[in-house]
Amino acid sequence: MHAIVMNYITACFCGIIFQKSAINLTEIPQYAWFPFALGLGALFITVFNLMAITTQRSGLSVVSVATKMSVVIPIFFGLLYYKESLGLFKLIGIILALAAVYLASLKTRDGLKIKPSNLFFPILVFLGSGVIDTTIKYLEGEFIAKNDIPIFSATIYGMAAILGFFLLIFQASKGNFKFQFRNVLGGIALGIPNYFSVYFLVQSLRSGIFDSSGIFTVNNVAIVMFSTLLGILLFKEKLLLKNWVGIGLAILGILFIALEKW
């Protein structure tokens, strides 16, 4: 937990450092996006803990599928709220991408095995992850000024860090906290890319390369594809046939979404 808290502290400082305009802390609560950012911060650390519980009870593959399949929530939001187009190529690309996420995430021949008593947790991970992406899209389109992305991100991570700190205090009171300096270093190493994951997601939503349904689909399926390939290179993972099929479908899905645009 202290690695995660340190990660959020680092990500918060990144936002402060990269904010180009002067920061007046007393003015931050006046931004229209401020209450949403606080809610997102609470969701960030809540969903992370739900992911940990799901991993312990059902395995990492279940978490991966639940997290990445949640892309359907911001996709439907973009199609319904922003009236984004849904051509044939994009529809095929989204379907292929969802199939790719499922197949690439399965690490056993038997597929996903979830006890009925544990089903509640991946459902919450699915909903929480989807709400986070959808809220970021909504705020990006409605409230966040171009130059305020860093301070917006910093506020999210700052809130997550504060809540995480209280969780640490609770753990310490129960005698379950053991400080390890390597977790501090790990948290710092994680916090920098964590900050930029939100920063570049907002920037990509504004890039005009794809609409939001395309951006979220490509983003999620590329994460699964890239992490799977890293697993092969760094950890010598042996992939099943279904994993290779998933990687192939991921590439096809991205190509179909690109064809829709061009």
Gap between the Cα atoms of 10 and 161, Å rounded: 9
64 contact partners, CB below 8 Å, separation of at least 6: 101, 105, 224
- Per-residue pLDDT averaged across 185-214, rounded? 91
Gap between the Cα atoms of 147 and 150, Å rounded: 7
Confirm if 179 and 23 have CB atoms less than 8 A apart. Answer: no
| Closest of 72, 74, 53, 73 to residue 63, by C-alpha | 53
Gap between the Cα atoms of 61 and 84, Å rounded: 31
Q: What is the per-residue pLDDT across 124-177, written as a single tens digit (0 to 9) for each? A: 999 999 999 999 999 988 898 888 899 999 999 999 999 999 988 888 888 887
Q: Could you tell me the pLDDT band of residue 116, with boundaries at 50, 70 and 90?
A: confident
Alpha helices by DSSP H, listed for the chain, are 2-18, 34-58, 60-69, 72-81, 88-105, 120-142, 149-173, 181-205, 212-235, 241-261
Q: Which two tokens stand for residue 230?
A: 């890293």
Which residue type does 161 have?
A
Q: What is the per-residue pLDDT across 10-34, written as a single tens digit (0 to 9) for each? A: 999 999 999 888 888 888 899 999 9
| Closest of 144, 130, 124, 122 to residue 36, by C-alpha | 144
Q: What is the pLDDT of residue 91?
A: 92
Q: Could you tell me the pLDDT band of residue 38, with boundaries at 50, 70 and 90?
A: very high
List the domain range (segments joined by +) for residue 126. 2-17+25-261
- Per-residue pLDDT averaged across 1-8, rounded? 88
Mean pLDDT of the chain: 88
88 contact partners, CB below 8 Å, separation of at least 6: 260
Q: What is the pLDDT of residue 196?
A: 93
Percent over 90 (pLDDT), the chain: 41
89 contact partners, CB below 8 Å, separation of at least 6: 256, 257, 259, 260
Domain count within the chain? 1
Q: Could you tell me the pLDDT band of residue 62, with boundaries at 50, 70 and 90?
A: confident
- 0.75 exceeded by pTM: yes
- Per-residue pLDDT averaged across 103-124, rounded? 80
